[in-house]
Amino acid sequence: MNTLEKLGAFNVWANTTVLKRLDEVAASGQEVPPVALRLFSHVLNAQAIWISRIGGTASPVKVWQEHDLAGCHALHQQTSEPLHQLMVNADETELQRLISYTNSLGDSYESLVHDILTHAVVHASYHRAQVATRLRDHGFEPVNSDFITYCRELSAAARQAAPSL
């Protein structure tokens, strides 16, 4: 698996992991902190926006549009694995393609698809860390959604799946 593909798979895992934690908070009868939902909505919105820019289509969401927990689940399904699949399926020509776009402030830019895909994962990690901080601020234990934790889980799963000699 190449690095970009692995980052994409990590991003799906990390988003799923955070969503499961938010589900646990809600299932306990407590309110998911609105600031945590706002930040996680932003993660998923950004994925939708970048997918749209790469595909040359209009974004279905605004950058800071807020979603409830069910909306986050729906947007996660619509964006996390599709973003990963862009990473899996992109050949070198696609990765080096220059995308022209306008950001949420109206500024025009051009970026390589490879850089956009890398940014999407780094951006999501940054905001997932903010979600963890806000959960802790509200008395909830956050999950560890670090890349190395994902890698450790992959290694443990591989060891368990390996036939014993």
Residues annotated as binding site for a divalent metal cation? 42, 123, 127
Distance CA 78, CA 151 (A): 24
User: Do the Cβ atoms of 101 and 109 come closer than 8 Å?
Assistant: yes
Main-chain dihedrals φ then ψ at residue 163, nearest 5 degrees: -65, 140
Binding-site residue set: 42, 123, 127
Which of 126, 111, 137, 125 is CA-nearest to residue 32?
Answer: 137
Distance CA 54, CA 147 (A): 25
Our measurement of the distance from residue 40's CA atom to the centroid of its chain's CA atoms, rounded to an integer in Å, reads 9
Instruction: Work out whether the CA dihedral 86, 67, 59, 120 comes out positive or negative.
Output: negative
Where do the H-state alpha helices sit in the chain?
A: 3-27, 34-55, 69-89, 92-95, 113-137, 147-161
